[in-house]
Amino acid sequence: MKRMSLKANHRRDAIIGWTFIAPQMAGFVIFVLLPLISVFIYSVQEKNLLFGTSMFTGLENFRRLFADPLFTNLALGWFP
C-alpha cells in the first residue's frame, strides 16, 4: 500500500473540509450578506420605483429619520 505524503494528506483534508463548508457559506452569502449589502445601498438612495430613477442622498435619509419627533418618540417608547 502506498503512503500519502503529509502535504497531499493535508490537501485532501482541506478539500473535504471546504466541501462540507461550501453549502453553508453559499447560504450565508445568498440569504444574509447580499440582503444586508442591498439594504445599506438602498438606505443611502432616494428611489422612485414608478419611473425607475434613483439619486444618491448619502446619510440625509438617516438625518431626516432621527430629526423626526414621531420616530424619536416611538424609538424611546420601546425602552422602559
What ranges do the domains of the chain cover?
6-77
Query: In sequence order, which residues have a C-beta less than 8 Å from that of residue 47 and are 6 or more positions away?
Result: 53, 54
List strand residue ranges (DSSP E) for 5-80, in order. 45-48, 53-56
C-alpha cell at 35: 440582503
18: which DSSP letter? H
Q: Is pLDDT larger for residue 77 or for residue 13? A: 13
Question: What tens digit of pLDDT does each residue of 35-78 get?
Answer: 999 999 999 999 898 998 999 999 999 999 999 999 988 888 87
